[in-house]
């Protein structure tokens, strides 16, 4: 049996015959199915979504973070399924999750006595998004007088567009939709939705700094023509 746990059943059967144990691959598989393992309930549980089909279908995975083994999976991101599962496992003391509103609400409903924390991956991800927003805001420059009106107009349009998306994401988040569901509903990628969900204020448009132009010396000539 130990051989079948270390390799495929066919390979384990070949090695078993060399050791003097006449066991077929089917026999080893049958023995494996008869095995019973002690059920160990997790105390520190990690919950996150994973892609069954990237950009289209997502599921939920639960991981025992102390033993670093998966505990269960759902082929959907359904709050009711996860709530029922957590209510049947009241021994969970720490719930590690991302900042998705669905998981937060489920944790508060099913495990009000547990401590909810953000895992290291999502902390670093949120920090990187905040750092990018900060760097973009620091690199903004005033447009030149020749194109000031056009730049201001494009900036205002971009700002209104980003504000509208941010407001739509926040409204859907407050309604209880998950990150993936919001992305599908608004036609945005998950990274943009995650950025909008993590931001407490609407993003500002960071205009591109104007640089030297090869056309500028020829503008008088082009105007004359």
In a domain, 216, yes or no: no
Residues 97, 48 share a domain: yes
Burial class (CB in 10 A: 0-12, 13-18, 19+), 136: middle
Q: Per residue in 3-44, pLDDT tens? A: 666 778 788 888 887 778 777 888 888 887 777 766 678 899
Q: Per residue in 119-151, pLDDT tens? A: 888 888 888 888 887 777 766 544 444 444 444
Count of the separate structural domains present in the chain: 3
What is the pLDDT at residue 44? 92
What is the pLDDT at residue 17? 79
Residues 58, 101 share a domain: yes
Residues 87, 8 share a domain: no
In a domain, 30, yes or no: yes
Check which CATH number belongs to the domain holding 107 and give it.
Answer: 3.30.420.10
Domain boundaries, position 8: 2-34
What is the pLDDT at residue 145? 46
Q: Per residue in 50-101, pLDDT tens? A: 887 777 777 888 899 988 888 888 876 667 778 888 888 888 999 988 777 7
Residues 195, 127 share a domain: yes
In a domain, 214, yes or no: no
In a domain, 131, yes or no: yes
In a domain, 219, yes or no: no
In a domain, 52, yes or no: yes
In a domain, 39, yes or no: no
What is the pLDDT at residue 8? 80
16-20, 112-116, 157-161, 166-170: segment of lowest average pLDDT: 157-161
Residue in this structure with the two tokens 């019973």, named with its chain if needed: 36
41-45, 115-119, 211-215: segment of lowest average pLDDT: 211-215
In a domain, 22, yes or no: yes
Q: In whole angstroms, how far apart are CA 179 and each of 24, 45, 54, 163, 204?
A: 48, 20, 13, 18, 22
């Amino acid at each position: 049996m130990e051989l079948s746990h270390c390799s495929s059943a066919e390979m384990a059967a070949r090695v078993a015959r060399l050791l003097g144990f006449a066991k077929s691959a089917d026999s080893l598989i049958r023995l494996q199915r008869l095995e019973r393992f002690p059920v160990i309930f997790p105390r520190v549980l990690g919950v996150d979504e994973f892609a069954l089909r990237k950009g289209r279908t997502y599921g939920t995975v639960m991981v025992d973070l102390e033993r670093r083994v998966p505990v269960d999976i759902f082929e959907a991101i359904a709050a009711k399924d996860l709530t029922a599962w957590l209510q049947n496992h009241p021994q969970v003391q720490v719930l590690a999750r991302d900042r998705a509103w669905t998981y937060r609400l489920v944790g508060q409903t099913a495990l009000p006595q547990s401590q909810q924390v953000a895992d290291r991956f999502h902390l670093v991800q949120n920090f990187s998004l905040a750092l990018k927003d900060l760097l973009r805001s620091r690199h903004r420059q005033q447009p030149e007088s020749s194109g000031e009106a056009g730049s201001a107009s494009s900036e205002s349009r971009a700002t209104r567009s980003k504000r509208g998306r941010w407001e739509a994401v926040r409204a859907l988040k407050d309604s209880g939709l998950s990150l993936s569901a919001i992305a599908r509903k608004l036609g945005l990628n998950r990274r943009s939705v995650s950025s909008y969900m993590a931001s407490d204020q609407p993003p500002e448009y960071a205009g591109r700094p104007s640089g030297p132009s090869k056309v500028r010396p020829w503008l008088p000539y082009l105007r004359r023509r």
